[in-house]
Structure 1
């Protein structure tokens, strides 16, 4: 093999490795979210289309919490403070947000449940998290979330004593919107592509 051939081979090898590393970095966040949703890690509820199985009449209380990063000029709150629902039965709850400015603002919500150990038993079949939401100046909007709690929560010795679950959402200003408004600092702590550690800390 000639020197030029060896140099060309090395060059292609390095380029391939760089492409793979870049691809893995972009895949890290969605893969982490998938892992959390599948395992309940860090208090992340499972998300999927699995139908609520119904239960044996046992109930659990779910409380709703809403927070808004100081850099997002919205009011954000749950429509209900708590509900009692039967394990295995699907429930729909609503949050609402209002843009307090005279121009469009885009936000994105992160979420978790507490205590963290119940994450794998809390199933959301639809929600507004991880998607950018844009409200025009002065606009208000309702955000529904549908969920159910697996009856298996009562047969697990680690969670059998849990009587109350808190579902929390936090809205941050989106990166694109913050950049248009004059700098990524306006997005608050939610800036840049989230690493696995960032995603977990934001959810908590």
Structure 2
């Protein structure tokens, strides 16, 4: 390699080094420049949010009445009721209601809640985020439990539906109570 080639390589490496330093400096200075730009234009001020975050999915122009119903199958000796029988909400608004259930038997019992909707088509627009109906519930003798349902009504609910009824029916799960478990262990 000649002296001229070495000189050209050093010159090229020097220019690449300078370019790397300039690029790093530009990237480093870009953040405060962006903050000042946003502050001056009001475009997007990351230092001070202009307002509280809002759920833009909520349809504030409409109110839907939700009625709650609770039933138990005839063989299940539980008392079951909604703590709130009616709420009025805007579609898209996350809402939580609570049901109360008590096992009136002298032994543990397992039940499963099954929902139904009125009108039936509302079931497609009733979106449950959390619900006691997702799992079986075992209550000890005399136990009372509060169980929440977190839901929202899809804003696409047809306009002619102004009231939705959410009804739960609790059924006993056969073979899942303490007495039948002991009988199975004894072979009976």
Q: CA RMSD in A?
A: 2.2
Please state how far the C-alpha of 1:53 moved relative to its aligned partner: 2.7
Aligned to 1:90: 94
Q: Which 5+ residue runs of structure 1 have no aligned equivalent?
A: 1-50, 154-158, 184-204
Q: Secondary structure at the match of 1:62?
A: strand
1:99-156 deviations in Å (ceiling 9; x for gaps) = 1112111111111211011222111111011421111111100110011111112xxx
Aligned counterpart for 1:79 among listed residues 73, 83, 93: 83
Please state how far the C-alpha of 1:86 moved relative to its aligned partner: 1.1
Query: Is the counterpart of residue 117 in structure 1 residue 121 in structure 2?
Result: yes
Q: 2: distance between equivalents of 1:180 and 1:63?
A: 36
Written as runs of structure 1 = structure 2, the 5 A alignment for 1:20-99 is 53-99=57-103
Residues matched between the structures, number: 128
Q: TM-score, normalised by structure 2?
A: 0.63
Written as runs of structure 1 = structure 2, the 5 A alignment for 1:1-204 is 53-153=57-157, 159-177=158-176, 180=180
Q: 2: distance between equivalents of 1:78 and 1:112?
A: 15
Please state how far the C-alpha of 1:52 moved relative to its aligned partner: 8.8
Q: Is the 8 A contact 1:52 1:90 kept in 2?
A: no
Q: 1: distance between equivalents of 2:174 and 2:153?
A: 33
Larger Rg: 2
Q: Secondary structure at the match of 1:129?
A: helix
Q: Is the 8 A contact 1:124 1:147 kept in 2?
A: yes
Q: 1: distance between equivalents of 2:135 and 2:174?
A: 12
Aligned to 1:196: none
1:153-199 deviations in Å (ceiling 9; x for gaps) = 2xxxxx3211100001000001223681899xxxxxxxxxxxxxxxx
Q: 2: distance between equivalents of 1:175 and 1:53?
A: 42
Q: Is the 8 A contact 1:95 1:143 kept in 2?
A: yes
Q: Secondary structure at the match of 2:60?
A: coil
Q: TM-score, normalised by structure 1?
A: 0.58
Q: 2: distance between equivalents of 1:152 and 1:76?
A: 31
Q: Quick one: structure 1 residues 52 and 103, their matched pair in 2 at CA, closer, same or farther if it must change by over 3 Å?
A: farther
